């Protein structure tokens, strides 16, 4: 019977040492950014905000444009395009894209140089950070 107790003790000691070793290795890792800060969830928030506030709301500043989301990107850069309403195949007037984890946003195109561009940039920053609503 004493050998059985010693065997159980040895097994328990080995298991405890293994768990301690695994916990020690993992405790030095930096915390990964939240999933919602990755490129795709960030651009999903931006696309929902843009669609609701700029287009579905009937905002006159965006009446001549249409939203063209390209969120399923194999390049790792989900993006949304703002294109002319009557020529959706035309060159985009604005491109908003993100890549990485945490997401790094980029916005470019001639529409961002127009008076509405300042508002667009502020909205995109707000939505990317998790804010909601329209200004």
Q: What is the largest CA-CA distance in the chain?
A: 87
Convert the pLDDT of each residue in 40-53 to its tens digit: 999 999 999 999 99
Q: Is the pTM of this model over 0.75?
A: no
How many separate domains does the chain show? 2
Tell me the three state secondary structure of residue 58: coil
State the residue range of the domain holding 76: 35-128
Return the pLDDT at 135: 82
Please tell me which of 10-14, 29-33, 60-64 the model is most confident about, judged by mean pLDDT.
60-64
22 and 69 inside one domain: no
Average pLDDT in the 75-100 region?
Answer: 95
Please tell me the predicted confidence (pLDDT) of residue 74. 79
Distances from the Cα of 74 to the Cαs of 59, 71, 94, 99, 135, in angstroms? Answer: 32, 9, 20, 11, 33
| Predicted pLDDT at 2 | 52
Q: Are 51 and 71 in contact (CB under 8 A)?
A: no
Other C-beta atoms within 10 Å of 100: how many? 14
CB of 38 closer than 8 Å to CB of 101: yes
> pLDDT band for position 64 (50/70/90)?
very high
Q: Is residue 18 part of a domain?
A: yes
Same domain assignment for residues 14 and 66: no
Does residue 23 lie within any of the structural domains?
A: yes
pLDDT tier at 28, thresholds 50, 70, 90: low
Residue 20 shares a structural domain with residue 83: no
Residue 18 has pLDDT above 90, yes or no: no
Residue 5: band (very low, low, confident or very high) from pLDDT cuts 50, 70, 90 = low
My answer on whether 39 and 84 are in the same domain is yes
């Amino acid at each position: 019977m004493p050998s059985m107790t010693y065997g159980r003790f040895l097994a328990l000691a080995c298991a405890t040492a293994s768990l301690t070793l695994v916990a020690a290795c993992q405790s030095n890792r930096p915390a990964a950014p939240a999933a919602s800060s990755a490129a795709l969830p960030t651009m999903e928030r931006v696309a929902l905000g843009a669609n609701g506030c700029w287009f579905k709301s009937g905002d006159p500043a965006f009446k001549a444009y249409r939203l063209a989301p390209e969120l399923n990107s194999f390049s790792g850069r989900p993006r949304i395009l703002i294109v002319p309403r009557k020529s959706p195949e035309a060159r985009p007037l604005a491109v908003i894209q993100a890549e990485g984890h945490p997401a790094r946003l980029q916005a470019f195109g001639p529409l961002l140089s127009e008076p509405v561009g300042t508002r667009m940039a502020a909205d995109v920053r707000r939505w990317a950070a998790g804010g909601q609503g329209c200004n």
